[in-house]
Amino acid sequence: MVKDLQKYAAERGIKYFMVSYTDLFGGQRAKLVPAQAINDMAVDGAGFAGFATWLDLTPAHPDMMAVPDASSVIQLPWKKEVAWLASNCVMEGAPVAQAPRNVLRKLVDEAAKEGLRVKTGVEPEFFLLTPEGDKIADPYDNAEKPCYDQQAMMRQYDVIAEVCDYMLELGWEAYQNDHEDATGQYEMNWKYDDALQTADKHSFFKFMMKSVAEKHGLRCTFMPKPFKGLTGSGCHAHISVWSLDGSENAFADSSKELGLSDRGRTFLGGIMKHASALAAICNPTVNSYKRINAPRTSSGATWAPNTVTWTGNNRTHMVRVPGPGRFELRLPDGAANPYLLQAIIIAAGLDGIRSKADPGKRHDIDMYTQGHTITDAPKLPLNLLDALREYDKDSTLKAMMGEEFSAAYMKLKHKEWDSFVSHFSRWEHDNTLDI
């Protein structure tokens, strides 16, 4: 664990530290601090005008300090003279309650109080586009079923392999890369970790992927549904809960249904119970709702859920249990804030454990063709406004995420929705002009 950042810089030839925090909309904000000055900021942090980012602060608020977490430091593999530091937001000596990394840290502590250690892995999907962002970068990538396309994958080898090499160098235990189900779409996988570490890695992965793509003259996007008719970008989360020392997977019990222990089952029950509200965080943009509940894509399937259901090893449901001792939440998309995503999983799961929530009956059907036969499961929200309203109604989840966070998030996201609906669209003109 790194303690003295100035010494760390001297040993590694680091000239600048990027003191970085994540705001409520998932934006990463940073100051570049010369290594000579870093020890002065290690305790008190680097100063920011919080209002200038999405944190629901006013211009009159005192300086917000981003206090670096030295244990999160990563030397940029593509620019070795710079190192990134995930930071915690503090104002006048107290944590800024609504700042996403603080929300997550609080929930990690809550879980620890009950002897639980949540470990998760995320699978961020992304598209490689031309720099303008309107076209798939590889003009030859146009198959009807492009998933795992070996030839197309190799045409983007330089970008994918460069990032995978970096993950290996960083010790993330990267293990596979593939061309995904949409043309121009890819996924890279590394090993699961504690929720806070996964959130830091997820954030850094997005930064790294975009930076390396830009270096190669491309644009990388995690937008949930950048192209109509093509499969969207999910960010599935695989979840398990361990004993505090990490030695025992508390979700594993081979004597139980699908190898999921009673605790795993009630955690899953919490996810099912709060699913509609979860969408406000897992699917946080207007565009997110073009990925879930979507019509069939040109490849034949959206691979995204439409209803609150769970199953065994079957990818057409919101939750899949791929094997014993863990489950996969397929709801989140590429726009999910890495910290809030982990936080909401823990919040819903903890409530599930505390309230002994029952996930209900599992359905082993193809949801894309037989979904209409299920009448007892809620549909996922159809748009961002519905999701925000579901979140607002869920007082337990709101309290677990923190009242200050929930109020700030609701306020900013409702404003975003208002901005969307007040935008005059071509569709309105085309469909209303001759009314």
Contact between 187 and Mg ion per CB under 5 A: yes
| CA 271/CA 211 separation, integer angstroms | 34
Closer to Mg ion by Cβ: residue 187 or 253: 187
Stretch binding ligand ADP (CB under 6 A), from 149-157, 188-196, 263-271, 306-314 = 188-196
Coil/strand/helix, residue 215: helix
Answer for the pair 163, 209: CB distance below 8 angstroms, yes or no: yes
Contact between 236 and ligand ADP per CB under 6 A: yes
What residue 119 binds from Mg ion, ligand ADP, none (CB within 5 to 8 A, per partner kind)?
ligand ADP
Burial class (CB in 10 A: 0-12, 13-18, 19+), 13: exposed
What residue 240 binds from Mg ion, ligand ADP, none (CB within 5 to 8 A, per partner kind)?
ligand ADP
- Rounded to a whole number of angstroms, the minimum distance from the CB of residue 425 to Mg ion is 31
Neighbours of 30 (CB within 10 A): 17
Q: Which of 117, 179, 238, 265 binds ligand ADP (CB under 6 A)?
A: 238
Contact between 320 and Mg ion per CB under 5 A: no
- Rounded to a whole number of angstroms, the minimum distance from the CB of residue 382 to ligand ADP is 25
Q: Which of 50, 226, 234, 325 binds ligand ADP (CB under 6 A)?
A: 325
Answer for the pair 380, 292: CB distance below 8 angstroms, yes or no: yes
Neighbours of 105 (CB within 10 A): 19
Stretch binding ligand ADP (CB under 6 A), from 187-195, 254-262, 294-302, 370-378 = 187-195
| CA 111/CA 98 separation, integer angstroms | 19
Contact between 138 and Mg ion per CB under 5 A: no
| CA 104/CA 343 separation, integer angstroms | 5
Answer for the pair 308, 300: CB distance below 8 angstroms, yes or no: no
Tell me the β-bridge partners of 375. none
Neighbours of 354 (CB within 10 A): 13
Q: Which of 206, 263, 274, 326 binds ligand ADP (CB under 6 A)?
A: 326
- The residues that touch ligand ADP, with contacts defined as CB under 6 A, are 119-121, 123, 189, 191-192, 236, 238-240, 325-326, 328
Q: For binding to Mg ion (CB under 5 A), which residues are involved?
A: 123, 187, 236
